[in-house]
């Protein structure tokens, strides 16, 4: 192939064209805020944006740094190719989350439609979200939450016992606080009695660490997998995820952990149904509000705008979200 009088191999020409197209696609959104007249932090690396900084720096400190550069308290940045507007203005936040909430109820879609994450409250959208919220709201009344108090108190007593057993020895309080939080969540969400400080090799703990990308051992391959889980969520375009999904397990938490959490939830739900005296945990309180293993109650299906929604699998997703939010708050404390 001849270009400008020079003989250029066909493979080199095709490679150059392909790389040029990838570069264009990977940076095509980086001028979004410029077109809108919004102050923004420029990004230069295709497909990556500011993800390297977000993964290597404390997010609050990074935002604090950028806010000093943008005194208007509103600026743009890029998570992968996705433009993200950061807002630190209280009135702006109030406008979006309260006054105009009907236009901003949906969260950013980060999760693919896999078996464990597609239907939890943080992922569903619009009318489907309203439907599920209606089913879940009665579970979070002050009366229902007070019923969980004895369960939390038992975990607290266990926590104090472990602290006293250390005597004067130095401890990493973050590890103890994280363990206490895991105990509370396992008890209140799943109805499990897991003493993390005493039983560090429990299967629940193993899969919880895998779910959050916390290395379960020191092998390099484990740490590499944790890193690529983050890349999978934020950086890979959907068509690439779909293609790779033909050959690899691209699920959010990994197939093993996904199957474990779903199996655990169904097993606990079955046990809850058979108990005469119901436990005061989330699954037991929601049992009458879900489609359980193919059994449909009158509240399970609603038709809106031609769509049918069921709460099949709702407990698995909601417990997963409950665990995700609360435990992650502690481990990043």
Q: With H, G, I as helix, E, B as strand and everything else as coil, classify residue 263.
A: helix
Q: 291: pLDDT confidence band, cut at 50, 70 and 90?
A: very low
195-244 pLDDT tens trace: 776 776 778 777 777 766 555 555 555 556 656 666 666 666 666 766 76
Q: What is the pTM of this model?
A: 0.59
Domain with CATH 1.10.630.10 in the chain: 132-331
Higher-confidence position of 245 and 150: 150
Query: According to the model, what pLDDT value does residue 28 have?
Result: 93
Mean pLDDT confidence for 50-58? 83
Mean pLDDT confidence for 284-308? 47
CATH topology of domain 132-331: Cytochrome p450 (1.10.630)
Helices (H) and strands (E) in the chain, counts: 15, 6
181-191 pLDDT tens trace: 888 888 887 77
**What Cα–Cα distance (Å) separates residue 118 from each residue in 83, 96, 265?**
23, 25, 16
Task: Tell me whether residue 75 is exposed, middle or buried, using C-beta atoms within 10 angstroms of its C-beta: 0 to 12, 13 to 18, 19 or more.
Answer: buried
Distance CA 212, CA 100 (A): 33
Mean pLDDT confidence for 149-165? 88
């Amino acid at each position: 192939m001849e270009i400008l009088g020079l003989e250029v191999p066909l493979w080199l020409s095709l490679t150059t064209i392909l790389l040029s197209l990838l570069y264009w696609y990977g940076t095509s959104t980086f001028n979004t805020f410029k077109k809108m007249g919004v102050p923004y932090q420029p990004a230069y690396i295709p497909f990556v944006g500011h993800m390297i900084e977000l993964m290597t720096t404390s997010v609050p400190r990074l935002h604090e740094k950028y806010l000093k550069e943008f005194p208007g308290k509103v600026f743009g940045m890029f998570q992968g190719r996705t433009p993200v507007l950061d807002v630190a203005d209280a009135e702006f936040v109030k406008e979006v989350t309260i006054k105009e909430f009907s236009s901003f109820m949906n969260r950013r879609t980060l999760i693919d439609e896999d078996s464990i994450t597609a239907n939890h409250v943080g992922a569903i959208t619009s009318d489907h979200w309203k439907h599920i919220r209606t089913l879940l709201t009665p579970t979070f009344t002050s009366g229902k939450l007070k019923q969980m108090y004895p369960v939390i108190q038992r975990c607290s007593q266990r926590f104090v016992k472990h602290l006293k057993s250390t005597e004067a020895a130095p401890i990493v309080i973050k590890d103890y606080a994280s363990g206490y939080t895991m105990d509370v969540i396992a008890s209140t969400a799943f109805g499990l009695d897991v003493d993390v400080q005493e039983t560090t090799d429990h299967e629940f703990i193993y899969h919880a660490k895998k779910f959050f990308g916390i290395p379960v051992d020191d092998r390099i391959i484990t740490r590499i997998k944790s890193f690529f889980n983050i890349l999978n969520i934020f950086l890979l375009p959907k068509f690439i995820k779909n293609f790779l999904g033909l050959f690899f397990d691209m699920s959010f938490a990994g197939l093993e952990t996904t199957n474990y959490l779903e199996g655990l939830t169904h097993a606990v739900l079955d046990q809850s149904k058979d108990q005469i005296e119901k436990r005061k945990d989330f699954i037991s309180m929601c049992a009458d509000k879900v489609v359980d293993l193919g059994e449909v109650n009158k509240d399970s299906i609603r038709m809106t705008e031609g769509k049918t929604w069921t709460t099949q699998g709702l407990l698995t997703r909601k417990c997963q979200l409950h665990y995700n939010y609360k435990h992650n708050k502690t481990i990043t404390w």
